[in-house]
């Protein structure tokens, strides 16, 4: 069973259908106990970060997700799902107890997710934020190139070093925190041409991958997306490895 975590994301049905394209058995849930029982977890994106975080706490989903990840079960984070993974990793692996996105808490001392205009200098070519909205021309939309690092799971999944994937977001990983995350074991496996983080993974985990882009937007019944295909295969392999242990228990 694949648990798609429902915390007010706007593209749940797209993710559900994309997983069905590659033979996934999907349940959409907000129940922490269902998440704990699932063979694999998807945290989708395109929603409100603040609502997401409040639901995560209110429904005790944070500990459930961490238990699933620690158990080695496959995890796929999409867009906001990648950002949630980074926030949780910062809090529980780096000791950044107040790690957050400025979308949710503008005053956080550890803004691991933020508008690019909040962490890059204007001299680096980033457009100035519109102070009337606090956002400016920061939305990334449509198909954009993603460069995949050599020796990464992402490169293995796609079988190429450059891909084009669809985007719909404006908050990014704050590159000022990159070395702290890298030295703790998180791998940044995909970047835009201008150095924005597109994919992360955990080399120490059997299958933990998250993307800033939306693979569900290009998955079709005839051509299931490689990221979903790899995820479902990993989940089946994990389940198959668990069955003999359960039988002998």
Provide the residue ranges of all domains of the chain, joining segments of one domain with +: 2-248
Burial class (CB in 10 A: 0-12, 13-18, 19+), 136: middle
pTM: 0.78
Question: 92 an active-site residue?
Answer: no
Instruction: From the candidates 110, 165, 216, 225, give the one annotated as an active-site residue.
Output: 216
Instruction: From the candidates 55, 79, 88, 169, give the one annotated as an active-site residue.
Output: 79
What DSSP letter does each residue of 93-162 carry, written as one string?
HS--TTEEETTT-TT-SEEEEEEHHHHS-GGGTPPPP-TTTT--S--EEEEEEEEEPTTSHHHHHHTSSE
Instruction: From the candidates 21, 110, 214, 225, give the one annotated as an active-site residue.
Output: 214
pLDDT of residue 122: 37
Question: 79 an active-site residue?
Answer: yes
- Would you tell me which CATH number, out of the four given (2.40.128.120, 3.30.750.80, 3.40.50.880, 3.40.50.150), belongs to the domain 2-248? 3.40.50.880
pLDDT of residue 232: 81
pLDDT in tens, 179-209: 999 999 999 999 999 999 999 999 999 999 9
Question: 169 an active-site residue?
Answer: no
**Which residue positions in the chain have pLDDT lower than 70?**
1, 6-25, 39-41, 43-57, 59, 121-138, 220-222, 242-249
pLDDT of residue 26: 74
């Amino acid at each position: 069973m694949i648990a798609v975590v429902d915390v007010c994301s706007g593209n749940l049905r797209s993710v559900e259908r994309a997983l069905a394209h590659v033979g996934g058995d999907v349940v959409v849930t907000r129940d922490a106990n269902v998440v704990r029982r699932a063979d694999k977890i998807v945290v989708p994106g395109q929603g409100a970060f603040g609502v997401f975080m409040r639901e995560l706490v209110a429904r005790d989903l944070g500990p459930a997700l961490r238990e699933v990840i620690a158990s080695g079960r496959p995890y796929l984070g999409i867009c906001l799902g990648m950002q949630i993974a980074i926030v949780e990793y910062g809090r529980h692996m780096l000791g950044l107890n107040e790690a957050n996105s400025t979308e949710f808490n503008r005053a956080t001392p550890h803004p691991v997710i933020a508008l690019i205009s909040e962490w890059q200098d204007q001299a680096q070519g980033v457009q100035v934020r519109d102070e009337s909205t606090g956002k400016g021309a920061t939305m990334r939309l449509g198909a954009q190139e993603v460069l995949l690092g050599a020796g990464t799971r992402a490169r293995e999944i796609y079988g190429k070093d450059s891909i084009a994937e669809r985007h719909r977001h404006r908050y990014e990983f704050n590159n000022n925190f990159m070395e702290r995350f890298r030295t703790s074991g998180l791998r940044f496996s995909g970047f835009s041409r201008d150095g924005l983080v597109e994919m992360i993974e955990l080399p120490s985990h059997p299958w933990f991958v998250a993307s800033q882009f939306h693979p569900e937007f290009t998955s079709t019944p005839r051509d299931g997306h490689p990221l979903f295909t790899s995820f479902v295969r990993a989940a089946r392999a994990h389940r198959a490895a668990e069955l003999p242990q359960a039988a002998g228990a």
